[in-house]
Amino acid sequence: MSATPEVPPVEIIPFGPGGEKLGMTRYEILQMMEANIAYFGDAMEIFLTMLFGYIVAIYLAGPKLSRIQYAIANTVFLVPMANHVLFMYRTVVVSTQWDIFDGTYGPEVSSFYYENFPLWLTGVNSYLQFFILIGLPLLAVWFGWRIRKNPPQDRLNLPEAIE
């Protein structure tokens, strides 16, 4: 009968200050970073769904709303959107927090990032993200205001179009 060899315990390599307290391997830390990045992607899908849902709803109902109803609709739209943008910001911050525990991974990623993304592209990306998260909801509210003030003319219901 052969004796089963004992497997030595796996060494947990600490990453940066406080990394040993986590008791996690590099793979597990990177998985947590990846999970938070995936949460951001899911949050962006929900953000765009809420945005275009508002645009369609305000296009259909906007001309029929009073000023108070329009203000309530915008508040009901903008408050959850602001909350959602803060949630997306939080997911990015939490993702970068995992990077703190990985002392050698951060500079590697930064080096790779800056080698492949020039500074001008990083700036464009930052402004584009700001416009998407802040500008598009405000643009949608402006669109709703314009629709409310100048309702669209439905050409299919005009008497000339029927004949």
DSSP state for residue 150 in the 8-state scheme: S
pLDDT of residue 15 exceeding 70, the answer is: no
Model confidence at 161, in pLDDT bands (50, 70, 90)? very low
What is the pLDDT, as a whole number, of residue 160?
54
pLDDT digits (tens, 9 = 90+) for 40-54: 888 889 989 999 999
- Among left, alpha and beta (phi > 0; psi -120 to 50; other), residue 18 is left
* Percent of all residues in the chain with a pLDDT value above 70, rounded to a whole number: 65
What is the pLDDT, as a whole number, of residue 33?
76
Contacts of 114 (CB under 8 A, 6+ apart): none
**Distance (Å) of CA 151 to CA 2, 13, 131:** 85, 64, 26
3 state DSSP class of 25: coil
**Distance (Å) of CA 95 to CA 25, 33, 40, 122:** 16, 5, 10, 19
pLDDT digits (tens, 9 = 90+) for 107-142: 555 555 566 666 777 677 778 778 888 888 989 999
Render the burial of 131-161: b for 16+ CB within 10 Å, e for the rest: eebeebbeebbebbeebbeeeeeeeeeeeee
What is the pLDDT, as a whole number, of residue 158?
47
- What distance in Å separates the CA atoms of residue 53 and residue 80, rounded to the nearest whole number? 13
What is the pLDDT, as a whole number, of residue 126?
72
